[in-house]
Structure 1
Amino acid sequence: MLLGKVSGSNRRSKIRRSWPVLVLVVLVGQIFLAACGDNTATPVPAATTAGAATAAGATTAAGASGGQVIVGLITKTETNPFFVKMREGAQKEADAKGVKLLTAAGKFDGDNASQVTAIENMITAGAKGILLVPSDTKAIVPTVQKARAAGVLVITLDTPLDPQDAADALFATDNLKAGVLIGQYAKAAFGTKAAKIAMMDLNPGITVGDLRHNGFLQGFGIKEGDASIVCAQYTAGDQAKGQTAMETCLQKDPGINLVYTINEPAALGAYTALKAAGKDKDVTIVSVDGGCTGVQGVVDGKIAATSQQYPLKMAVQGVDAVVDYAKNGKKVSGYTDTGVTLIAGKAVTGIDSKDVQFGKDNCWG
């Protein structure tokens, strides 16, 4: 007997039974190769989150927009009405110019880490220019320098860097003047009446906050450390923190009769605290921004006067500058003043101001 010998019919039977196994092996192999060997697929855009550069249909590869100019806008937060209007203005102008706008924001005012990530993402995405409202005017400088070294035009909006010329250009309100205007108004309104002042500031070392603070002191005719300043608190420009700061100041000195606020959210927070304490009729609040909600605060008697600035104009001019750079190689530089106007509920002698109707017509212009 010969072991292992198989008849012809048995061999054919075994071959027929082997075909399904062979086909399955081949199919599995093809699927495995397709999954492991193809790295050329278009990247999926990141989800829209604070700190991430995003836009409808944006890809993360430079040049993936088919030659379309890419402009980046990075604000301090997504929710502050000032930055909402700035983003709206930038998007409208980007659409009109036929360019792609990537937007990003910090998770909170002062969130430098998210802004650093956003700049790096926008460089990778191929942005020709970035419009930046810096949260930390010193800490962001190395990342701005990295962007400029990569050929990206960087324009700061509203808030100058420290140093200011670390960016290519600045489009902003004259924040010192904004502070001076409300300081002058408060001084004229008080006349010879003694003032007990609470200062509702931004955050330590942020240029826009320092400029407005110093401007108010200059306009009111006093210096840092003056005895009339009975309380000073940081609010991060936030309404809830403004309320807490005002409550703290009232505990320190219930006789406060003048409140300087870095912006209108802080002002409205301070008003809430004053009203709860039954002191809203006895205290004058002055502020900066001139947003639609802030101007309504003037109409309602919650804020006496505010310095109106124009974030939409900043954003529009910024987009136009990036487009000009991308298409014509023209690089903007230096400081562009986007204007400031004092809006007052009640005019005072010797101080140039506009009424609330002007404020309504031009809020966030």
Structure 2
Amino acid sequence: MINVKFQKGLKAALALVCAGTFMVGLSACGSSSSSSGNEKVALLVSTLNNPFFVDLRDGAKAEAQKLGIDLQVSDAQNDSATQQNQAQNAQSQGAKAVIINPVDSDAAASAVAPLLSSKVPVISVDRAVTGESVDSHIASNNVAGGAQAADELAKSIGEKGKVIILQGTPGAASTRDRGKGFKDRIKKYSDIQVVAEQTANFDRAEALNVTTNLMQSHPDATGIYAENDEMLLGGVQALGDKAGKDVKIFGFDGTKDGLKSVADGKAVGTIAQQPKVLGQKAVQAASKILKGQKVQKTQAIEVKTVTKENVSQFQ
């Protein structure tokens, strides 16, 4: 037979183990409850293959952590249909607000319409949503940036000559705005002629091919405006030794590689955006809306002209 004292001791030990297990369970539940207590916000990014949007995401994540927001990031890989599915998933998974960086401004309307009709707040960032009234739109002043680029490129080619434009993704608001700002301003230079415009989809490899082809068609072109730095870099690669000498090229974004190209004299300059600030402001807007606070319908983030003279301030 087992000793009675031993039996009592065993029961006491088991009771302590059970109590401990129960407390651990409560602790785990409390931790889970605290985590799930954070507001869930979805960030739908057009592509994370572009360093600019990686910076935008990082700015958003840092601000979300600061504000206690559970930020769920999805990469559409430049496909509008994928982004629409991601918007549906965000809603079904309980996102309280959605931040969208559209692949295509026109196509994004069908992605956000069900969210808006279900009273899920939507914030667009960098690129607008055409045809839908989102709660807030946060973007760089792309029209102003395009105009600034026109002035600097014109100056670099002596305010005369033939210019090529490397366009971004068709349908993207940033493409339209950067193109409008540039073309409206370049008209004031009567001795400058835009001889070709073609999309390279904000992509470096595509820009290499497009620039090569356009320069073959227009070998006397002396200026190129690339609507982002990835296309600038593709253009620089296509131009080879001509970059920065026979042909002046100007970009847009102010990415690390774009700035290096300016510092090296391969590019005349670029328009520096603040992608981390864009991400930060988008998350701030979502947080305010979820707290019932008012936000600005549109927020324009300043852009800055970068040339070899001031590039060191941005690197």
Q: Secondary structure at the match of 1:203?
A: coil
Match of 1:243 in 2: 208
- The residue type equivalent to 2:116 in the other structure is R
Give, in whole Å, the separation in 2 of the partners of 1:175 and 1:81: 18
Match of 1:141 in 2: 109
Match of 1:79 in 2: 49
The one-character-per-residue Cα deviations of 1:24-69 (angstroms, maximum 9, x if unpaired) are: xxxxxxxxxxxxxxxxxxxxxxxxxxxxxxxxxxx9xxx9963320
RMSD after superposition: 2.1
2:36 to 30, 47, 66: 66
Q: Secondary structure at the match of 1:259?
A: strand
1:357 to 305, 308, 312: 312
Give, in whole Å, the separation in 1 of the partners of 2:80 and 2:280: 24
**Deviation of the 1:298 alpha carbon:** 0.7
1:178 to 133, 140, 145: 145
Give, in whole Å, the separation in 1 of the partners of 2:68 and 2:136: 23
Query: Is the 8 Å Cα contact of residues 305 and 344 (structure 1) preserved in structure 2?
Result: yes
Give, in whole Å, the separation in 1 of the partners of 2:134 and 2:296: 9
Map 1:188-227 onto structure 2 (within 5 A): 188-192=155-159, 194-221=160-187
- The residue type equivalent to 1:324 in the other structure is K
- Name the stretch that deviates more: 90-99 or 171-180: 90-99
Query: Is the 8 Å Cα contact of residues 157 and 222 (structure 2) preserved in structure 1?
Result: no
Give, in whole Å, the separation in 2 of the partners of 1:238 and 1:97: 34
Larger radius of gyration: 1
**Deviation of the 1:149 alpha carbon:** 1.8
Identity of aligned residues (%): 28
Query: Is the 8 Å Cα contact of residues 153 and 331 (structure 1) preserved in structure 2?
Result: no
Match of 1:279 in 2: 242
Q: Secondary structure at the match of 1:302?
A: coil
2:254 to 270, 286, 290: 290
Match of 2:272 in 1: 308
Match of 2:118 in 1: 150
**Deviation of the 1:233 alpha carbon:** 1.4
Give, in whole Å, the separation in 2 of the partners of 1:78 and 1:319: 18
C-alpha change, 1:227 and 1:337, in structure 2 (3 Å) is closer
- The residue type equivalent to 1:250 in the other structure is M
Give, in whole Å, the separation in 1 of the partners of 2:126 and 2:69: 22
**Are 1:120 and 2:88 matched, yes or no?**
yes
- The residue type equivalent to 1:173 in the other structure is S
Query: Is the 8 Å Cα contact of residues 138 and 162 (structure 1) preserved in structure 2?
Result: yes
Q: How many pairs are equivalent?
A: 282
Give, in whole Å, the separation in 2 of the partners of 1:170 and 1:253: 39
The normalised TM-score by structure 2 is: 0.84
Query: Is the 8 Å Cα contact of residues 183 and 217 (structure 1) preserved in structure 2?
Result: yes
Give, in whole Å, the separation in 1 of the partners of 2:157 and 2:221: 13
Map 1:329-348 onto structure 2 (within 5 A): 329-346=292-309
Match of 2:6 in 1: none
Structure number with the bigger relative contact order (C-alpha 8 A, sep ≥ 6) is 2
Query: Is the 8 Å Cα contact of residues 270 and 307 (structure 2) preserved in structure 1?
Result: yes
Give, in whole Å, the separation in 2 of the partners of 1:157 and 1:231: 29
Give, in whole Å, the separation in 1 of the partners of 2:163 and 2:188: 11
**Deviation of the 1:238 alpha carbon:** 0.3
- Name the stretch that deviates more: 248-257 or 261-270: 248-257
**Deviation of the 1:331 alpha carbon:** 4.3
Give, in whole Å, the separation in 2 of the partners of 1:73 and 1:127: 10
Give unmatched runs, 5+ long, in structure 2. 1-31
The normalised TM-score by structure 1 is: 0.73
Between Structure 1 and Structure 2, the one with more helix by share is 2
- The residue type equivalent to 2:300 in the other structure is D
**Are 1:162 and 2:130 matched, yes or no?**
yes
Give, in whole Å, the separation in 2 of the partners of 1:330 and 1:145: 22
The one-character-per-residue Cα deviations of 1:261-310 (angstroms, maximum 9, x if unpaired) are: 010110010111100xx422211001110112211111011211111111
Give, in whole Å, the separation in 2 of the partners of 1:140 and 1:78: 18
Query: Is the 8 Å Cα contact of residues 343 and 356 (structure 1) preserved in structure 2?
Result: yes
C-alpha change, 1:222 and 1:75, in structure 2 (3 Å) is farther
Q: Secondary structure at the match of 1:199?
A: strand
**Are 1:105 and 2:79 matched, yes or no?**
no
Q: Secondary structure at the match of 1:270?
A: helix
